[in-house]
Amino acid sequence: MANKIHRSIGHHYIVEASGCDPKIISSVEKVQQVLVKTAEIAGAQVWSISVNRFPPKGVSGVIVISESHISTHTWPEYGYAALDFYTCGSEVDPEKAVFYAVEAFGASTSHITEITRGIEDGDKIFYHSLITWEEDFENGKRKK
């Protein structure tokens, strides 16, 4: 029996960031800076930026990148940020970007789900797989 070749189109990270700094995640300017830097850290090319206030305190933002998108929605009153990173191709490092964003938001804990998307075994039938884990942070840095 021949070995199957598994290829994937992209990686999608869904992140729940808890214990975030409310001063950071309530600021449109700071959230935009973090998202743009996140794209840079991933090695992605930015195409479009839209970051706005979401009443009463939250911020919603999306960075369209040539490799797909990076987005967030924040709830400063809960110290919570929901982040979404989807990148295609092999030239970017989305996991590195995920950790940067969570640290930059000042999170104490994050729950991360990585979905490998567009997996294909040579038969043009695509599927996905997922793994999930938790990371703890201290003083803005991931505990190792």
Q: Which residues are catalytic?
A: 68, 73, 88
Contact between 59 and 74 (Cβ < 8 Å): yes
* 97 CB-near residues (< 8 Å, 6+ apart): 38, 39, 41, 42, 44, 70, 85
- Other CB atoms closer than 10 Å to residue 133's CB: what's the count? 9
- Other CB atoms closer than 10 Å to residue 121's CB: what's the count? 12
Determine the Cα–Cα distance for residues 24 and 106; give it in Å rounded to an integer: 8
Quick one: DSSP state of residue 121? -
